């Protein structure tokens, strides 16, 4: 796996910060997709791209009658993201297949490696776009009309990448090939550090959502407009941000404003519009919604960009993974506040589960994200054991 991680390391990397810029369908993403194709074909796997740009590399030929066991994750990143969120799952998937071949395992069902498109939603605002479109959780009309920061729609971006936007949407033919899905992911927290274990299993994904809040005011001169005459949208925006922090504390959830657009964006002009993206999550969906309702009162417009209900991974499969991946003592089962394609597939009724690999600091969505090589290797062995168990 070392060689694969090294090959991926420079793609989309900002030399100044060490962070990754791997927006869906950007040049970096296209290069990552090429890399995936190369890894698939060099292993003699059957490479397919579905109607929504998700990539599949099959060992064997899945069909409706004989669906496969699939593992994988995503290759896109948040802006200035780390090297592991997503890619570790894809690299580990190929490495686990190699290990199965070394062990001379003959799977009774096809085994696939998947790479989902635009998991992070960094470019168009909606996370897990590839898996949501695949399962029908997101309508193609809504998705194709979403715009990036340059004002380009997904439809235009897909066309430029040589894809066929009109084919986007629920893809029953592809879904029918997926019997079980297992996603390996770097842990985005310190649960495994606390447990003193290299590998864990996901129990549940918190309900979470993203909202865009627009605060409108009146643009005017920063020097000549008297304070009494101003309508400055930066003030209600600032009140909202502080209120979100206080409400999160009180309600026992988390809330983040990680993206803000100020228009027109001149240092010497009062803004006319502040758009803020609020991300809120927590174990209790009602508390998350209560927070959003409570803090958005001063916004001129509130738009829910995405909402993902709680996902509780099926107990039997989850416990089976914990047993197989844990060795002598079952692997710990951990909840998470991060969204994943495995959660979208689980919600669509596909038996799905996740393995987590220890992250020494717990930092993620930042260049500081890390996993020790020995733990990554333990993750591959655990994943291979799980695949062997599932396709026996
Ligand atoms: C995606 O990684 C998310 O949980 O925001
Ligand atoms: Mn992520
Ligand atoms: Mn991820
Ligand atoms: Mn994620």
Whether residues 182 and 261 share a domain: the answer is no
For residue 392, is pLDDT > 90? no
Find the mean pLDDT for residues 349-370: 98
**pLDDT attached to residue 357:** 98
Whether residues 270 and 319 share a domain: the answer is no
Mean pLDDT of the chain: 98
How many structural domains does the chain have? Answer: 2
Task: Express each pLDDT in 214-267 by its tens digit.
Answer: 999 999 999 999 999 999 999 999 999 999 999 999 999 999 999 999 999 999
**pLDDT attached to residue 55:** 98
Whether residues 38 and 94 share a domain: the answer is yes
For residue 73, is pLDDT > 90? yes
Find the mean pLDDT for residues 329-341: 97
**pLDDT attached to residue 280:** 98
Last residue of a domain, one of 307, 340, 373: 307
Task: Note down the domain range covering 24.
Answer: 2-206+310-390
**pLDDT attached to residue 343:** 98
Cα–Cα distance measured from residue 373 to residue 243, given in angstroms and rounded to the nearest whole number: 41
CATH number at residue 268: 3.30.70.360
Cα–Cα distance measured from residue 290 to residue 287, given in angstroms and rounded to the nearest whole number: 5
Nearest ligand 1 atom to the CA of 279 is: 5
Whether residues 274 and 351 share a domain: the answer is no
Last residue of a domain, one of 243, 278, 307: 307
Residue among 130, 202, 206, 339 to mutate when testing ligand 1 (max atoms within 8 A of CB): 339
Last residue of a domain, one of 307, 330, 346: 307
Residue among 87, 120, 183 to mutate when testing ligand 1 (max atoms within 8 A of CB): 120
Task: Express each pLDDT in 140-198 by its tens digit.
Answer: 999 999 999 999 999 999 999 999 999 999 999 999 999 999 999 999 999 999 999 99
For residue 90, is pLDDT > 90? yes
Whether residues 159 and 247 share a domain: the answer is no
Whether residues 118 and 92 share a domain: the answer is yes
Whether residues 17 and 96 share a domain: the answer is yes
**pLDDT attached to residue 145:** 98
For residue 327, is pLDDT > 90? no
Whether residues 106 and 160 share a domain: the answer is yes
Tell how far the Cα of 226 is from the centroid of ligand 4, in angstroms.
46
The closest ligand to the CA of 73 turns out to be 3
**pLDDT attached to residue 250:** 98
Using a pLDDT cut of 70, give the percent of the chain over it.
100
Whether residues 187 and 295 share a domain: the answer is no
Nearest ligand 1 atom to the CA of 128 is: 1
List all residues whose CB is within 6 A of at least one atom of ligand 1: 120, 127, 338-339
Whether residues 152 and 48 share a domain: the answer is yes
CATH number at residue 37: 3.40.630.10
Whether residues 28 and 162 share a domain: the answer is yes
Band the pLDDT of 281: cuts 50, 70, 90: very high
Tell how far the Cα of 77 is from the centroid of ligand 3, in angstroms.
8
**pLDDT attached to residue 295:** 98
Find the mean pLDDT for residues 327-350: 97
Whether residues 77 and 218 share a domain: the answer is no
Structure tokens at 290: 């209560």
């Amino acid at each position: 796996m070392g060689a694969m991680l090294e090959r991926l390391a420079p793609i989309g990397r900002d030399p100044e910060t060490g962070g990754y810029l791997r927006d869906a369908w950007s040049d970096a993403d296209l290069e990552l997709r090429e890399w995936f194709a190369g890894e698939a074909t060099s292993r003699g796997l059957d490479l397919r791209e579905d109607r929504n740009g998700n990539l599949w590399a099959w060992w064997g030929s899945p069909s409706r009658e004989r669906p496969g066991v699939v593992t994988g994750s995503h290759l896109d990143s948040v802006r200035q993201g780390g090297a592991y969120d997503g890619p570790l799952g894809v690299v580990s998937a190929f490495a686990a297949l190699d290990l199965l071949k070394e062990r001379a395992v003959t799977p009774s069902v096809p085994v696939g490696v998947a790479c989902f498109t635009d998991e992070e939603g960094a470019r168009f605002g909606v996370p897990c776009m590839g898996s949501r479109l695949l399962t029908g959780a997101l309508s193609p009309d809504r998705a194709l009309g979403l715009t990036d920061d340059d004002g380009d729609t997904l439809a235009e971006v897909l066309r430029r990448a040589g894809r066929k936007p009109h084919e986007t949407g629920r893809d029953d033919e592809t879904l029918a090939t997926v019997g079980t899905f297992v996603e390996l992911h770097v842990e985005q927290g310190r649960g495994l550090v606390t447990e003193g274990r290299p590998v864990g299993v996901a129990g549940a994904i918190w309900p979470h959502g993203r909202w865009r809040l627009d605060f409108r005011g009146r643009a005017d001169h920063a020097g000549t407009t008297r304070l009494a005459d101003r309508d400055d949208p930066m003030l209600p925006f600032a009140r909202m941000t502080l209120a979100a922090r206080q409400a999160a504390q009180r309600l026992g959830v988390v809330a983040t404003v990680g993206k803000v657009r100020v228009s027109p964006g001149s240092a010497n002009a009062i803004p006319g519009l502040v758009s803020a993206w609020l991300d809120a999550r927590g174990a209790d969906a009602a508390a998350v919604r209560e927070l959003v309702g409570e803090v958005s009162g001063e916004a001129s417009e509130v738009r829910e960009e995405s909402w993902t209900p709680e996902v509780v991974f099926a107990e039997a499969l989850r416990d089976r993974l914990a047993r197989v991946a844990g060795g002598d003592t079952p692997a710990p089962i951990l909840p998470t506040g991060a969204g994943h394609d495995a959660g979208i597939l689980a919600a669509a009724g596909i038996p799905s589960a996740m393995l987590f690999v220890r992250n020494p600091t717990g930092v993620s969505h930042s260049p500081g994200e890390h996993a020790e090589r020995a733990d990554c290797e333990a993750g591959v062995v655990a994943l291979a054991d799980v695949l062997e168990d599932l396709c026996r």
